[in-house]
Amino acid sequence: MTVTSRGAGLFRTKTVEQAIKDTEEPDFQLRKALGPVQLTVMGIGVLIGTGVFVLAGEAAALYSGPAVSLSFLISGIVCALAALCYAEFASTVPVAGSAYTFSYASMGEFIAWMIGWDLILEFTLGAATVAKGWSGYFDSVAGGLGLVVPEAVSGGPGSGGVIDLPAVFVSLLMMVVLIIGIRLSAWVNASITTLKLVIVAGIIGIGVFYVSGENWSPFIPPSQPADYESAVGGQPLLLQIFGIDSGFGLTGVFTGAAIVFFAYLGFDIVATLSEEVKNPQRTMPIGILASLAIATVLYIIVSLIYTGILPYEQLGVEAPAAAAMAATGIPAAELIISAGILIGLTVVIMTLMLGQTRVAFAMSRDHLLPPTLGKVHPKFRTPYKLTIITGVVAAGLSGFLELTELANLVNIGTLAAFVLVSIGVIVLRRTRPDLKRTFRVPLMPVLPIVSAILCFAVALFLPGSTWLRFIAWMILGTVVYYFYGRKHSRLVTGEKA
The answer to whether 351 touches 88, Cβ cutoff 8 Å, is no
Question: Does residue 272 sit in helix, strand or coil?
Answer: helix
Mean pLDDT of the region 270-296: 77
Burial status of residue 474 (CB atoms within 10 A of its CB: 0-12, 13-18, 19 or more)? middle
Question: Does residue 34 sit in helix, strand or coil?
Answer: strand
Q: Is the per-residue pLDDT at 6 higher than 60?
A: no
Domain architecture of the chain: domains with CATH: 5-493 (1.20.1740.10)
Q: Minimal CA–CA distance to 386: which of 352, 360, 412?
A: 360
Residue 3 is predicted with a pLDDT of 46
Residue 1 is predicted with a pLDDT of 41
For a pLDDT cut of 70, what percent of the chain falls above it?
Answer: 84
Q: Is the per-residue pLDDT at 4 higher than 80?
A: no
pLDDT in tens, 58-75: 889 888 999 999 999 999
The H or E element that residue 485 is part of is none
Length of the chain measured in residues: 497
Residue 412 is predicted with a pLDDT of 87
